[in-house]
Structure formats: structure tokens, C-alpha cells
Structure 1
């Protein structure tokens, strides 16, 4: 069960990392399309057009390289470097795009949220802190060339606070999910243990027990049943040809469950057995 849980956790981490890669590639492609079609002047209040174009192409190319070399990385140091580089590049684009007047600050919040699914606790909060510092620092640099209004300072503070809020929210949801998965794994382990215990009890019972499906194929036969019927193995076999007399009594019982089945004689051993039937709930 520990190996299965670890494998499930690794697969989930890989899916989250692919989502992070896909998000960054999508952002890079959209930015490059915007600057290539000259729509960036309509959607972004660019403080430096050349820097925005260079930064957008650099963001896309670097993320393509990172996807190739860090496609399935699991090392925390590499994941932290990946998130840190993403925050640094987005802060540069945030500066080039004109600061809070652009929508790039929202991209930083999304990046912080996704990175906190891969980096938990203090490291995730460190990413949020670096993103907030990057937003504030970029805004202060812009103030030297563009005079900021009081509303701009409020928006900068809100973006920084949202970075921490996104990190805390994602980490809280991740912890709840981990607790739920742990409970599910414990329940599954208990069910498996009970099934094994039931199988052991059935095997040690002196009463012969056969469990059949709707096609009268044997799903389970305990040791006593094999001994009484004179078979070495019955699981997976149809009893129609093996035990026709038993099948005949089964049909009679299905037509009239109150009828007591007649005893049957086993030809191989000469033993006379008294069958009884019960329908299991689906």
C-alpha cells in the first residue's frame, strides 16, 4: 500500500508539473502573438516596447527549453529554481508592460498559485513573497519615469496581498486533499484486510462453500468444497458439466426458494452431500 500511495503521489505531481509547463507555454505564446500582431498597444500600457518584445520572446523560448529539460523533474531544488525563474521573468514583463495598468500582475498570481501545488509550506510562501517583492520593486522603478497615482499604490498592494492569499489558499486546499487521500487509503487498507480475513475464514471452514456468478462460473471454492467434490481446482470453471446434479438442484431452488434441495451423491467418493443455497446481495 505504501508503494501504491507513493506511485499515485508521483503521478499527481507529474500532472501538476505538466499543468505548470502548459500554463507558462500558453502565456508565452499569447504574449508573442500580441506583440506580433501589434495588439499589445491596445491591451498593454507598455513602458518599454522593445523590452516587452524581447521579454516576451525570451519568456517563450526559455519555457520551451525548460519543458524539454525539466519535463518530469521531482527535485525540490529544481522546482524552486523553475518557479523562481518564472517569477523573475514575469516581473520583468510586468515592468515592461507598464506595471499595474497591464494584466501581467494577474499572471503572477496564477503562477504563484500553481507553483504552490508543487512547493509546499515555507518554500511556497517564499515564492509568494518574492513575487510580491518583484511587483513592488517593478512598480517603484516605474515611478521614476511615470508618476504613480494613489490608486496605483493601492493596486500594487492588492496584487502583493493576492500573491500570499493564493499561496495560502492553494496550500490549505492541498492539505485537505492530502488528508482525504490518507483517509481513503486507510479505508482501502481496512477493506483489503477484511477481505483477506474473510477469505481465510472461508478456507478453514469445514463446510464446503462455492461462490458462483450469474453464469454459474466458480468465483471461490474453499478447501472443504474441493475435498468433498473431489476436485483440485474449481475457480474460473463452469459447474454445468462438472456437477450437473448440483446445477439441477440449483434451478429447482431458484424456481422455489422455500424448497429444501435433495441430497446428491458424489460419484468419485461415494459421499452423499446435502446442498443449501443462498443468494448474495449484488
Structure 2
């Protein structure tokens, strides 16, 4: 990996991150203050006439010290970008350079009476704010010794007026500044640490909230006053059938959803879809006023329909149980009496035919009762992830073995890796019902009489099972009544097979529909549940 340029690392120092906030970022601004101060002290001596008392005692020494001070500030940015040496040592070296430079500048300007010694307070206070612990008092001691040394030098070597009182006062002030900086730094660091911890907790909480929203089964959209999408979770993308780009409008996603939002904002009830949309919208305002954002919930209608279907099946089970008790007893009596009549040898041929009709019809009524009871009887439901290719192969083999159907009569065309979520027992009932119908109506066709095809629908993004037979097909006028209960075109049929198939599909968040295959016959398409969405059952 390529090494990051020093200029880029230096720019990162002013970024708002938890590490730089307490260390390198403040050092950047401290060194910038050093650079400005050194440039100002050097620049003031270049004007004509020079500003008094800067450099009045030793001009050449002053300029040399100012240039060295400016060079140390520039070098400070270089080591700052490299972050070497370590932080505390780097601060200590910079403060030492400041103390030496300011002391020399003050000496070249007439000593402490020049006023430049006051800059030492800023250096000590700034250095004390940067470091932790007792280093701040070390900086104060360095400044006090430098001031005292300069005073001793002036008195003993240059025979100047003693300035011990001023040196002592400035040294004491340095220690006071160090103590104040130490206390302020302690409080600032404690507050910054607490703020950093709170910020970390807030980030974790925000990530948790985002993960919860993304994993919700309900679609969530947040739109602004211009109806542009600001936030959307994965469920919303699946229900709307498209990837939601930030900034797209609600109308671009769904005209129906846009009209519902308009009606809700006008204080009217939103448009209720007739069933074509896989979601039902709900709206809520985030805040008050016209500039408030709008929160849109998209409820999965498949899950709602599934729950309603389960309630309907439970109610139907209670109803048919009570009906069965009322019908089965007299039906059994009729069947038993017909069997006794059939054993009478004195019956004429016409009477025997009538008794045979009675027996067949009682068997038919009994079969209707059995199928209705099977529809309403509660069954154990186990939701599983089904790899449809192997599952269909096993189901078709078991069907052929139990119904004595040649394996060549049913052909399977399966794509690999097509997975759904559902109850295997219920889906197998649907498959067996469709195979029964297909083999019955295609009895005279050339094998394979029924073709079972499984694939992943690109347009629907859901698994699909198609069952086609090579029979005569379904007349157009009967298409609308195929899934109605007790509708049948056969004299011996009950008309409950396709109705039961539709009810079981709905209970598994699937739907079944009829279509006409291109090469004739009849076709039924089962659009199965998305494996990523969990069932209610």
C-alpha cells in the first residue's frame, strides 16, 4: 500500500475525529500560533524606522533569533506531519525552542523591561493545555530559569540595573499559568473523553436503529416537502420493485403511491389499491409545518392476506366440522339402506339401477364432505427453506409411486439454486392437485403429459412453479370461475380442488394463476414467497 503523503496527513490534523481532537489537532493550532508570532516579531524589525524597543540593544542578535524562531515553527509543521517524535516529547521540544527564542529576543531588546517576556506566559499556558500530568510545571520551571538566567547575565556581565523583582514576578506568573493550564486541561480532557464516549454510544445507537429499520418487514420511506426520498429500507425497495436512488420522487416510484400521498396531505383518505399493488401505504408527519418530512410505511399485503386467510381457514374449519356432524349421520343411513336394497334379489333391473345411482351419489357427497373437512382441518405447519429443484424431484417421484403413474408421464425442468420459504406439506398438496387435474385432462396425450417447470422470475424477483398439461385446455368463459368453490365441468367432480390450491397458496404468501401455454393445453403458475421475507405462520 502506498504511503500517505505528509501534506495529506497534515490536512487530516484539522479533521474532527476523536484521536486528533485531544492531541495532534490542538498541536497544529499551537504551532500555527508560533509561526504567526515568529513572523510578526521578525517583520516588525524590517520596517523603517524599526519599532522600539524590538532589537534596540542587539539588532543583529534579534534578527538572528527571530529567523531561528521562524525556522523552528516551520520545522514544527514538518515533524507534526510525520507525527515523530511522540506527542509529549514533540510538545516539550517546541516549548523549549520557544522559551530559548523569546528569552534571546527579550535580551536583544533590553531585557524584561521590553515586555517580550509576557510571551512566555502564552507559551507555558499553551504547552500546559496540550500535555497531561505535571509537564506543565516543567515548562513553567524552564521559563522561570530562563528569565532568571537572563537577569543574572545582564547584571553580572553587562552591569545593567538588576531586574530580579520583575524576573521573580514573571516566574511566579509562569507557575500560575501552568497551574491554571493544568486544571483547564484536566477538565477539558475529562469533558472531551465523556463527549467522545457519548458520541461513540450515539454512533452505535444510530447504527442499531439503521439496522433495525433495514431489517424491518414493513417498508419505510422518508420524503421531504418536495416529495424526494431521503431514506428507504430494503423492504421498501422490494415492495416497490426497484432500487431507490436518493433524490428520486415518490411519483417516479409509483403513481398510485404519489396520488395517495397527495390525498393524505389534503386531509383525505388515501387511495386503497384494488389488489394490484403488493403493499398498503400509511403516512405520518415528522414534525409540524409545511416543511416537515413525511414518513411512509408500506405494509406487505401478502402478509396481511396470509393472516386473514389463516383466520378464514380456522373459521371454515369450525363451520365444516359442525356441518359434517349434521350431514354424515343421515348420509350414512341412506348409504346403508341403499346397500341393503342392493342385496335384495327380487329388485328389477330399473330398481337396481336406481339403487346404484343412490350409492354413487352418496359416495360423491361423502367425498365432498371429506375434502371440505380436509380444507378446514387444522394441520401442523412447519415453515422451511425449500430448494425447489430437489424438492420437486422428490415430490414427483413420490407422487408417481403412490398413484401408479409412469415416470415418463411427468417431465421436470428445474433451474438450480431456486429457493423459497413455505410449508412443504401444503405446497405438496397444491402440486398433487395440479398433477391430478393435468393427468386427468391429458389422458390421451403423448408423454410427457404434464410438464413441471421451476425458475426464478426476473420481473417479479420471486420463485415460480409452472404446471402445464397437453390436454384440451380451459374454455375462455371459464377462466374467471376456475378458483371458485364447487365450480367444476366434470359430472363426478367436487369443484374444490383448485379452490383448495388457491387457499393453501395464500396461506404460504404465494398466489396461483391460470395461463394458456403457447403450444396448447392448460397451465397454472404458482408465484411463491420471497425467501428473504418471513411468514407469519
TM-score by length of 2: 0.44
- The correspondence for 2:99, drawn from 77, 87, 91, is 87
- For 2:116, the equivalent position in structure 1 comes to 104
Q: Which has the higher strand share?
A: 2
Out of 41, 45, 53, the residue aligned to residue 27 of structure 1 is 41
2:205 aligns to what? Answer: 194
Residue 6 of structure 1 is aligned with which of 11, 19, 34?
Answer: 19
Residues 63 and 4 of structure 1: is their aligned pair in 2 closer, same or farther, counting only changes over 3 Å? same
Kept in 2, the 8 Å contact 1:264–1:275? The answer is no
Show the counterpart of 1:183: 194
Query: How is 1:87-236 mapped onto 2 (pairs within 5 angstroms)?
Result: 87-144=99-156, 145-148=159-162, 152-229=163-240, 231-236=241-246
Partner of 1:260: 269
Cα offset for 1:248? 1.0
The one of the two structures with greater contact order (alpha-carbon pairs below 8 A, sep at least 6) is 1
- Contact residue 56 and residue 93 of structure 1 kept, 8 A: yes
CA deviations on 1:226-267 (whole Å, 9 max, x unpaired) are 3333x14224232213311111111111111xx43231246x
How many angstroms apart in 2 are the aligned matches of 1:105 and 1:86? 11
Q: 1:208 to 1:249 in 2, by over 3 A?
A: same
How well do the aligned residues superpose, as a CA RMSD in angstroms? Answer: 2.9
- What corresponds to 1:37 in structure 2? 49
CA distance in 2, matches of 1:276, 1:109: 65
Residue 271 (structure 1) shift = 4.4
Q: Are residue 57 (structure 1) and residue 63 (structure 2) matched?
A: yes
What TM-score does the superposition give when structure 1 sets the normalisation length?
0.79
Shift of 1:7: 4.2
CA offset digits 1:44-100 (Å, max 9, x no partner): 796xx3xx2132111122123223433242434344233223312322343444433
Distance 2:262 2:232 in 1: 20
Residue 103 of structure 1: how far off its partner (Å):
0.9
Confirm or deny that 1:16 pairs with 2:27.
no
4+ long deviations beyond 6 Å: none
Is 1:240 equivalent to 2:251 in the alignment?
yes
Contact 1:261 1:274 survives alignment (8 Å): no
Name the CA distance, whole Å, in 1 between partners of 2:166 and 2:140: 16
Q: How many residues align?
A: 263
Deviation at 1:12, TM superposition (A): 3.2
Q: 1:212 Cα deviation (Å)?
A: 1.5
The separation in 2 between residues aligned to 1:24 and 1:147, in whole angstroms, is 28
Secondary structure of 2:260's counterpart equals helix
Q: Using a 3 Å threshold, how does the CA distance of structure 1 residues 92 and 242 change in structure 2: closer, same or farther?
A: closer
- 1:201-243 superposed Cα distances (whole Å, 9 cap, x missing partner): 22333322222222222223333333333x1422423221331
2:282 corresponds, among 262, 265, 276, to 276
Q: Is contact 1:263-1:273 (8 Å) kept?
A: no
Larger radius of gyration: 2
Other-structure match for 1:66? 72
Distance in structure 1 (CA, Å) of the matches to 2:55 and 2:192 = 45
Indicate if the aligned counterparts of 2:129 and 2:184 stay in contact, CA closer than 8 A: no
Distance 1:228-1:110 versus aligned 2 partners, 3 A rule: closer
Give the match's secondary structure for 1:264: coil
The 1-side partners of 2:190 and 2:183 are apart by 11
Q: Which sections of structure 1, spanning at least 5 residues, go unmatched?
A: none
Which one has the bigger helix percentage? 1
- Is the Cα contact below 8 Å between 1:14 and 1:72 reproduced in 2? no
